[in-house]
Structure 1
Amino acid sequence: MTPSSRVTSEEGAPTPRQREIVDLVEQQGFVAIEELARSFDITQQTARRDVNALCTAGLLRRYHGGAGLPSTVENIAYEARQVLNLEGKRRIAELVAQEIPDHASLFLTLGTTTKEAARALSDHKGLRVITNHLQIASMLSGCKDAEVMVAGGTCRAIDGGVTGEMTLDFFNNFKVDYALMSISGIEPDGTLFDFDYREVRLLRVIIANARRVFLLADHTKYNRHALVRAGNIVDSIDALFTDSAPPPALAEVLAENGVAVHIAD
């Protein structure tokens, strides 16, 4: 038996073995604990710890005797998303902030990675920010050289996100230089998915009203399934900012269609 590695790495990111476990479950749909122990030459106790950690992170769902794919109709709890791969999200945020010049106008959508991007943009000068994320608005409102406009609508208690018809109308009033957006899942053919139809409707408006669209998505979004189709990355996105190289099938789609990929080291 090989010595067991830590159950999770720093900042809640999965370990290399846990990433392989997720890949295996995505290929098969369900994997038994006994099979994981044999495949990775670890004890069943270690396999259970890995599965439990991945279930806590929302990357897998625990079933009797093993693990399967997470729900396609319910997102990971917001508290868990805020700490899941936080270091990777911060690296993505720093990278995308380098691409945004001073005195730019931009949309910032809902999402934990876009929230980190707002933090990384706090030293920019002369920004004009339109957002429906109250946490982002609060964060940037303290920057004396930034103007922040907040959409009206229905506010969700869980994350401070504002959605609804009023929100759509508000965003339709603008045409900005950049949109920084997040998504719940990216399938191998580039299809983008999210869990909330109201958010997807707003994303479509945001994409239509931005001159350049940057997708901020860490590696946990690859091959992740959700309910609502939000379009395809090749039709909607100018550049993907991520913390790990896309899987081969997705990488081929991006390359064939000229979508730039920026990987944060």
Structure 2
Amino acid sequence: MLSVERYENILEQLDKNKIIKVSELSQLLGVTEKTIRVDLESLEQKGLLKRIHGGAVLPEDESRIFPIDERQSLRSDVKTAIAMEALKLIEPGETILMDGGSTTQALARLLGDFPVTVITNDIKIATELLSKELVQLLVLGGTRIGTSSSLIGAEATDYLKRIRVKRVFFGTTGVSVQHGLTVLHSLHADWKRQVIQSAERVTLLVDSTKFEKVALIQFAQIHEIDDIITDDKIDPHIRKELETKDVSVTFASMEKK
């Protein structure tokens, strides 16, 4: 088993159980406890876990990436503000691709007032759009990875290779000016790479807390993105760095009106 595959398995167990033990991981993954300890050290250096005696737990600070379900439920007001800015980019009658994520789901909630065709592989997004008469919905099938609501499979990937949409809206686990866009699972990384290739315009929806976070696997660099929509609580230094890049950046206002 490759190290990246072990990392994925370790993080999946951490997401499920909140605490993991070296001895149990060694048995589960069929490698020595020494190998597991080296893996945990590497993941701790990335900020993805905190080592304890005999195992590891979730990081205690606000920068932690896990648990995924908890992370996706936070900052709903910020995600709605970002989604409202994203809505302005969609023209009636367009065909758009919506990748899974809590911010893209917020955008799905806002759709329905004008005709648009939406292609998605995400169950939650499809559910949001199902009853909206002006939205023509195409759902790509596949298999769910872990607790994600996104479906990934060979048929969906093959379909993406045959189409070209006006715009894709997607999210990411982490985004760094230096290290690019990263996620926790190789299958999600492969899917997002293909998603980017399928659209004329590539739009990243990401709240400010995800900047300068680095997850496990890189799937894109900043220069591959056409538009970034985030909130205006972003660190001023990161904001200044983004302004030097060849990407359009929109900052959703979080001021109370």
Judging changes above 3 Å, is the alpha-carbon distance between structure 1 residues 102 and 158 closer, same or farther for their aligned structure 2 residues?
same
1: CA distance, partners of 2:203 / 2:231: 14
1:84 and 2:74 are equivalent in the alignment: yes
Detail structure 1 runs of 4+ shifted over 3 Å in the superposition. 67-70, 245-253
Match of 1:216 in 2: 205
1: CA distance, partners of 2:148 / 2:80: 19
Judging changes above 3 Å, is the alpha-carbon distance between structure 1 residues 215 and 190 closer, same or farther for their aligned structure 2 residues?
farther
Give unpaired runs (5+ residues) of structure 2.
1-46, 48-56
Give 1:81 shift.
Answer: 2.4
1:147 and 2:136 are equivalent in the alignment: yes
Helix, strand or coil at the partner of 2:213: coil
How many percent of aligned residue pairs carry the same amino acid?
27
2: CA distance, partners of 1:201 / 1:161: 13
1:206 and 2:187 are equivalent in the alignment: no
Superposed, 1:128-207 pairs within 5 Å as 128-156=117-145, 158-189=147-178, 191-207=180-196
2: CA distance, partners of 1:197 / 1:157: 13
Q: Could you tell me which of 90, 110, 119 is aligned with 2:109?
A: 119
Match of 1:101 in 2: 91
- Determine if contact 1:172/1:209 at 8 Å carries over to the other structure: yes
Match of 1:61 in 2: 59
Give 1:190 shift.
Answer: 5.6
2: CA distance, partners of 1:216 / 1:107: 13
Helix, strand or coil at the partner of 2:162: coil
1:244 and 2:242 are equivalent in the alignment: no
Give 1:157 shift.
Answer: 6.6
Give 1:159 shift.
Answer: 3.6
2: CA distance, partners of 1:256 / 1:243: 18
- Determine if contact 2:208/2:231 at 8 Å carries over to the other structure: yes
- Determine if contact 2:180/2:221 at 8 Å carries over to the other structure: yes
Give unpaired runs (5+ residues) of structure 1.
1-28, 30-57
